[in-house]
A and B are shown apart, each in its own frame.
Chain A
Amino acid sequence: MPRFATVLFLAGFAFLLFSLTLTLGFGEPPMRAGQGVLDQAVAGTGAANAVSAVLLGFRGLDTLGELSILFAAATAGGLVLGHRRPGGDGPPAGAILQAGTRLLFPLMLVVGFYIVLHGHLTPGGGFQGGVILAAAFFLPVLAGTGAGPDHALLRVVEGLAGTVFILIGLAALWTGGVFLEPLLVDRGALHELFSAGTLPLLYLAVGLKVGAELAGLLAHMARAGGGEA
């Protein structure tokens, strides 16, 4: 019987979605807020990448909330999985895997930090780069050549990176602005690495935080998967 109600709900939902196809307009969005954001992005944040300007400037609070969600997920994941001994090791990694891991690790670090630090100029930013950083640190675990990142260190990094993000936001408040207002925007020319004021710093905090959270979550899961599961 609940099945029937579910199917009924699904049918209604699908009908709703497909009837929207006929009523929504495509390709010509109203851009009521979007156009203003595009017009002010450079003056307001100094970032050439308008998406980054939205993420860290116009909607910085969303980004803070999103970092908090990752933190909450990592904390809850740790709470669920607890501290457990690493399970039985898999078969030892072969020479190719070991060499490949060692070769890739520095490359991934460089690419990750490059993407984090150029987020205000080119596509990319703290999230994308942070994921690559997390993958770099997680690679040895996947290849079976290392124990993965140190948990205590990850905690310090994620705690401090999140705090730095909020402190940069509060710094604006203390200097007479509003919470999360971009600072020092007029220093540096457009399209240069050291431009857009505090945005690259914020992105660095975001990148480190995302990297640490994801690496922590993955390490927890790898440890849990080590046993019989």
Chain B
Amino acid sequence: MMAYAVALPLVAAFLLPVLHNASRWLGILVGPAALVAVLLVVFQSWQPAVLPFAMDLGGFAPPWGITFYVDALALLFCGAVALMTLLLWPRDEGDGDADALVRRRSLTLLLAAAAAGLALSGDLFNIYVFYELAAVASYGLAAERGTPAAYAAAFRYLMLSALGSVIALAGIAIIYFETGTLNLAHLSLLAGELQGPTGMAAFLCLLVGFGVKAELFPVNAWVPEVYGVTTRRTAGLLAGLVSKLAVLVLVRLLVLVFPQEGLRDALLLLGVLGLIGGELAAWKARDMTRMLAFSSIGQLGLVFVAFSLPGTAGLVAGIVVAVHHMVLKPGLFLLAGQWGGGLRGLAGAARRAPLAGLLFVLFALSLVGLPPLPGFWAKFLVLTGLAGQGGGLGWLAMVAILVATVLEVSYLFRLAGRLYSRGDDEVPAAATGGGTVTAGVFGALVVAAVVFAPALWDEVQDMGAGAGDAALYVRTVGPMVPTMISGGAP
């Protein structure tokens, strides 16, 4: 069943240009229809009794074929992919270019299919393929505006991302040299062979490769450039969704194949650097779009810090932080799009659009971490986890999080003050409409998280426990033939 989550958006993407030529309405409807169908499939599969389960695509048992591993976490991300793509569905930008609109929608569907594949896949090379699909689709979307700056930013993004992909592929080659398999469950059984420096090298290669999309510290130079030149919907999609799926892949690798302590510390350090660097740059940013872009780097730093915590606590904290950011950031980007992003249009903007202003304050408060809002729980979980872990790095990370929070308060409320300032009669930047409604949906999700917090808490606990259980993963994927664990070439 879950194969539909990948297959349906792909079919829709392939057929969209053809159908658009045949009938205008068919062309408009086919994409959202495919995404709604994916949502239905996800809801239907969400039965705690049968989760987690594995699917052998092509009917070949692991490790020969490709495995899809379906657990609550993967389903959550699949559902989020379909929902967010629906909410951030590319709209007509009013330039009257129907052909470009069809292409942008095709690319968005391909992105959705790739993201679902990343969430489900249990095969290292298959993950690489879906990662590349997401990458190529996002290169196209990065250049969607058709301005010279968009081309330049897309090219720089492509080069950095392709560099990462090449290095990730080298990492996969090293793993294949060592173990002769690509199935994650099989690799988990063979994790002992990847304990040494060779395995470490392979993980670093994969970290650099998948870290590009995850906005990991040293390879995130593309973030402010790309988010500055795309439509805000694309920026929301890349910052909210694609980055989280890259993180999910890295987490799966950490849990299953590379459980070493040293690697977690490396992740923690990179996360702290990203957090501080991103928030500082956001504090210094001079327009709302780039402020949000840098803040996104900072938030993903926090996600990495959370996931670097050992055990279930780390996974729970990581999931909460990641999902929280996944909901907030597109909402904020949509508001930025609404206000044109430029500071000159922002003065008094909230007074002219009260609902949008209210949403901004809600998102800002949650991002900072005011108690009843989900952002508070996210930071609380990370901080308690770090306190429990202790150690020099743990304390460093705690200080970093507190400093980052102070920075967030400073720049977000400076902006809020500007939004509510009076006396400026300047004409606001042209509002594009529609963005506030979608941002409202994201705001409703935040409020819903507050209302249903206890139920969600239980769900997240189970999800984290399930995702952190490498033995469960291996058991679910299926028994490997014993000779393949020990044996080498005949």
Contact A65 B198 (CB under 8 A): no
Question: Which of chain A's residues have a CB closer than 8 A to the CB of B133?
Answer: 65, 68-69, 72
Contact A20 B174 (CB under 8 A): yes
Residue on B with the closest CB to A66?
A: B129
Question: Which of chain B's residues have a CB closer than 8 A to the CB of A211?
Answer: none
Measured CA separation A73–B484 after assembly (Å): 38
Measured CA separation A109–B117 after assembly (Å): 35
Question: Which of chain B's residues have a CB closer than 8 A to the CB of A68?
Answer: 10, 13, 110, 113-114, 133
Contact B103 A76 (CB under 8 A): yes
Contact B57 A24 (CB under 8 A): no
Question: Which of chain B's residues have a CB closer than 8 A to the CB of A169?
Answer: 3, 7
In the complex, identify which listed stretch (A91-99, A127-135, A152-160) lies at the interface while the others stay far away: A152-160
Q: Could you tell me which residues of chain A, from 1 to 28, have a CB within 8 Å of some CB in chain B?
A: 9, 13, 16-17, 19-20, 23-25, 28
Measured CA separation A170–B37 after assembly (Å): 15
Most buried by B among A33, A64, A152: A33
Contact status of A28 and B489, CB under 8 A, knowing A62-B129, A64-B10, A156-B18: yes
Contact A60 B177 (CB under 8 A): no
Measured CA separation A20–B204 after assembly (Å): 13
Measured CA separation A28–B177 after assembly (Å): 9
Contact status of A58 and B58, CB under 8 A, knowing A25-B177, A32-B487, A76-B107: yes
Question: Which of chain B's residues have a CB closer than 8 A to the CB of A28?
Answer: 488-489
Min CB distance, A56 to chain B, in Å?
9
Contact B57 A35 (CB under 8 A): no
Judge whether A57 is part of the interface by a CB distance below 8 angstroms: yes
Residue on A with the closest CB to B100?
A: A79
Contact B106 A69 (CB under 8 A): no
Measured CA separation A52–B363 after assembly (Å): 51
Contact B7 A166 (CB under 8 A): yes
Contact B140 A79 (CB under 8 A): yes
Judge whether A78 is part of the interface by a CB distance below 8 angstroms: yes
Contact A166 B64 (CB under 8 A): no
Contact status of A33 and B183, CB under 8 A, knowing A72-B107, A166-B11, A178-B59: yes
Measured CA separation A65–B7 after assembly (Å): 10
Question: Which of chain A's residues have a CB closer than 8 A to the CB of B125?
Answer: 59, 62
Q: Could you tell me which residues of chain B, from 370 to 411, have a CB within 8 Å of some CB in chain A?
A: none
In the complex, identify which listed stretch (B143-151, B236-244, B273-281, B284-292) lies at the interface while the others stay far away: B143-151
Contact for A179 among B3, B126, B167, CB less than 8 A: B3
Contact A24 B10 (CB under 8 A): no
The B interface is mostly helix, strand or loop, or mixed, namely helix
Measured CA separation A29–B104 after assembly (Å): 44
Measured CA separation A72–B99 after assembly (Å): 15
Measured CA separation A36–B121 after assembly (Å): 21
Measured CA separation A40–B484 after assembly (Å): 15
Q: Count CB-based A-B contacts (< 8 Å).
A: 203
Contact status of A163 and B14, CB under 8 A, knowing A58-B65, A59-B66, A76-B103: yes
Judge whether B265 is part of the interface by a CB distance below 8 angstroms: no
Question: Which of chain A's residues have a CB closer than 8 A to the CB of B180?
Answer: 29-34
Contact B11 A163 (CB under 8 A): yes
Judge whether B181 is part of the interface by a CB distance below 8 angstroms: yes
Measured CA separation A121–B447 after assembly (Å): 60
Residue on A with the closest CB to B125?
A: A62
Min CB distance, A99 to chain B, in Å?
36
As a 0/1 sequence over residues 174 to 210 of chain A, the CB contacts with chain B under 8 angstroms (1 = contact) are: 0001111110000000000000000000000000000
Contact B107 A44 (CB under 8 A): no
Contact status of A20 and B201, CB under 8 A, knowing A29-B180, A68-B13, A79-B103: yes
Judge whether B210 is part of the interface by a CB distance below 8 angstroms: no
Residue on B with the closest CB to A79?
A: B103
Contact B13 A35 (CB under 8 A): no
Contact A35 B489 (CB under 8 A): yes
Contact A35 B136 (CB under 8 A): no
Contact A159 B14 (CB under 8 A): yes
Contact status of A182 and B58, CB under 8 A, knowing A34-B180, A82-B100, A156-B18: yes
Contact B489 A65 (CB under 8 A): no
Contact A37 B11 (CB under 8 A): no
Judge whether A71 is part of the interface by a CB distance below 8 angstroms: yes
Contact A76 B136 (CB under 8 A): yes
Judge whether B307 is part of the interface by a CB distance below 8 angstroms: no
Contact A178 B56 (CB under 8 A): yes
Contact B137 A162 (CB under 8 A): no
Judge whether A85 is part of the interface by a CB distance below 8 angstroms: no
Contact status of A69 and B132, CB under 8 A, knowing A32-B181, A178-B59: yes
Residue on B with the closest CB to A64?
A: B10
Q: List 18 A-B contacts (CB under 8 A).
A: A32-B186, A32-B190, A34-B180, A59-B65, A61-B6, A61-B57, A69-B133, A71-B13, A76-B136, A77-B140, A79-B143, A163-B11, A166-B10, A170-B3, A172-B59, A178-B55, A178-B57, A182-B58
- A residues sitting closer than 8 Å to B (CB atoms) are 9, 13, 16-17, 19-20, 23-25, 28-37, 40, 44, 57-62, 64-66, 68-69, 71-73, 75-80, 82-83, 152, 155-156, 158-160, 162-163, 166-167, 169-170, 172-173, 177-182
Taking A58-B66, A61-B121, A159-B16 as known contacts, 10 extra A-B pairs with beta carbons closer than 8 A to each other, sorted by chain A number, are: A33-B64, A60-B66, A66-B129, A72-B133, A75-B140, A76-B107, A82-B146, A155-B17, A155-B21, A170-B7
